[in-house]
Chain A
Amino acid sequence: MSDSDSEQEQRLTLEDLEYSDAEMLSGDEDDPMDIFTTQKVTINNEPALKRLHDQIALPTDIPWSETQSITSTQPVSVADPDDDLNREVAFYNQALEAAVLGRERIRKEGGVFERPGDYFAEMIKSDEHMAKIRQKLLDENASIQASERAKAQRELKKFGKKVQTEKRLEREKAKAEALEKINVLKKKRQGNDSSANADDEFDVALASDDEEMRAYKTTGRNGNKGKKRSASSTPESRGKRLKKDQKFGFGGKKRHAKSNTADSSADVSAFNVKRNKSTSFKAGHKATKTAAKKRPGKARRQSGGGRK
């Protein structure tokens, strides 16, 4: 009997717990046997911890260089422990502050802090290992540079074609201009003197006399004076081409262009009442041929009339 009593004392019964706690701790509601629960008591025996601390503590009057331990001035607080970057930055800052303060204290106590450049001793990581690390860093840099170069090349290719065609056109234009200048000189040579003076030909600068070039262009190769010859074509000058396009090109009606339609038959705009009433074989009337403008022949008309 006493045993069961002591057992009951150890375990907290439902009556001891508050109603809300009982709900939380009772777990499975379907299982009615699970109403006796034990509460987990975590231990934080502060006086014992303090006693242990005093028991093992080093005396406080020993010089600092015995332990070389520094406590940071600010507690480290990281908002999100999974945020690697900020967490590592916080640790870095704590250690850096400790290094700076440590250096001061060492110097105050008269110790040596920096390692001189010519002090060679065994290091924690072997030289081969450091060589591997260095190689890895170099490889990383090289791969980054290679990928950047490849990207730049790809961009260049896109514009390379454009630049290429531009350059080609430029070169052809320059060539054409040079040839024209040579022709001009040939003409001038023929006109001026027949004495073949080899030296003179090469003395003349080809790029001189732009005025002449302009004049030559405007007079035309056949010496056709007065006609202004422009480099570009105008719709009038392309009359023949346009006509041919219309006849043989695509789109549009060509077959029955001159056949009568209902509209064209009903069109009496060419009918002049006055002429109709007046025209008869009377004296003093002129031939109707002059009334209308003299039309060119069929062939002329069909070929677009040529240049005007």
Chain B
Amino acid sequence: MATVFKQQKTKRDKAEGIVANDAEEKAIFKNKQRVLLLSSRGITFRHRHLLSDLGNLLPHTKKDAKLDSKSKLHIINELADLNNCNNCIFFEVRKRQDLYMWVSKTPNGPSMKFHIQNIHTMEELKMTGNCLKGSRHILSFDKNFESSPHWMLMKELFTQVFGIPKTSRRIKPFIDHVISFSIVDNRVWFRNYQITQKPVEHRSATDTTDLTLVEIGPRFVMNPIRTFDGSFGGQTAFENPEFVSPNVARAKVRNAKAGRYKDRMEALAKRDQKMKDAVLPDDPLSEKNVFA
């Protein structure tokens, strides 16, 4: 039926001299993003809750089973292809303690690895906000994201991964929350707020607007480690010089402790040696020599 209609339309258009504009219609860009949510084995409860929170917040995501290997990450590209996803968020948990997050544009796009700290999930009772499940949010980026190329690339990546496209199936109509990314101390801080309108009688003199924000959660801090050319591999395009691996940090603490013991033992040994060395020469006038 559609083709019949089109035929009639083209006939009529030709008659009236209107040129078909198929090419223009085809060129309307539709932002299609789908994100694959994955984790490695050995994930803890807090990280698991964070992953599920992200899944609830972003309706254009698809959760997949845990990935066995931590070294052969290139298979994630195939998994994403299988699920028709062009983005991926991968939670790599090491030593059941440290959470590393990979954000990547599969299959050939750039990828970034972050170390996640200070995780507070939506479950925490201090976060009192609530929002519609699947409503499209406003993304708020700090102006510092335009200061360097690696921040700009990160901003573009976040816009596509954390921004909900209009074509997603599970979206809801209104806008009731805003997700903000800020750069402080060379790290990216993630916050999620609910937008409410204050009634006129509750407004105070200092309020500039009638909107207020209540935190929904989750909240975490991303410490960028590296940016790669390809997805889950490839050449390093950016490396954060200030990043200290959590293993190294722990090792430093332990060595400092051990260092104290070592220093003390060395000092004792030195003292013993000193006492041995510090023997006075024989005095010819001593009792031993006079009354030999």
Q: Interface residues, chain A, CB within 8 Å of chain B? A: 40, 42-46, 48-50, 52-53, 55-59, 62, 65-76, 78, 81, 87, 90-92, 94-100, 102-103, 106, 111-115, 119, 121-125, 129-130, 132-133, 136-137
Q: Which residues from chain B sit less than 8 Å from chain A, CB to CB?
A: 29, 31, 56-57, 105, 109-110, 122-123, 125, 128, 130-147, 149-150, 152-153, 156-157, 159-160, 163, 165-166, 172-176, 178, 180, 182-185, 189, 191, 193, 195, 197, 209, 211-213, 216, 227, 229, 235-241
Q: Which of A66, A73, A136 contacts B125 (CB 8 A)?
A: A136
Query: Could you tell me the distance between the alpha carbons of A130 and B123 in the complex, rounded to whole angstroms?
Result: 10
- Check B132 against A121 for contact (C-beta < 8 Å): yes
CA A58 to CA B237, docked complex, whole Å: 21
Would you call B163 and A68 a contact (CB within 8 A)?
yes
Q: How far apart sit A72 and B136, CA to CA, in the bound complex (Å)?
A: 19
Q: Please, how many angstroms separate the alpha-carbon atoms of A44 and B235 in the complex?
A: 12
- Chain B's nearest CB lies how many Å from the CB of A140? 10
A27 to B20, CA, bound (A): 75
CA distance A284 to B277 in the complex (A): 124
A42 touches B239 (CB 8 A): yes
Choose from B135, B174, B227 the contact partner of A49 (Cβ within 8 Å): B227
A-B contact count (CB 8 A): 187
Once the chains are docked, how many angstroms separate the CA of A133 from the CA of B126?
A: 8
Indicate which residue in A58, A92, A102, A123 contacts B159 across the interface (CB closer than 8 Å).
A58
Contact indicator A72/B141 (Cβ below 8 Å): yes
Alpha-carbon gap, A2 to B216, bound state (A): 63
The answer to whether B183 and A95 have CB atoms under 8 Å apart is no
Q: List, sorted by A's number, 29 A–B pairs whose CB atoms are closer than 8 Å.
A: A43-B238, A43-B239, A44-B239, A45-B236, A49-B153, A49-B227, A52-B109, A52-B153, A57-B156, A68-B136, A69-B140, A70-B140, A70-B141, A72-B142, A75-B144, A76-B183, A94-B182, A95-B193, A96-B212, A99-B213, A103-B175, A106-B175, A114-B174, A121-B172, A122-B134, A123-B131, A124-B56, A124-B57, A136-B125
Which of A56, A97, A113, A136: most chain B Cβ within 10 A? Answer: A56
Residues of A within 8 Å of B173, CB to CB, are 112
Determine whether the beta carbon of B237 is less than 8 Å from that of A49: yes
Are B163 and A92 closer than 8 Å at their CB atoms?
no
Contacts of B138 in A (CB 8 A): 68-70, 98-99, 102
- Of the candidates A62, A76, A92, the one whose C-beta lies within 8 Å of that of B193 is A92
From A43, A115, A137, contact of B176 by CB (8 A): A115
Q: Which residues of A contact B195 (CB under 8 A)?
A: 99
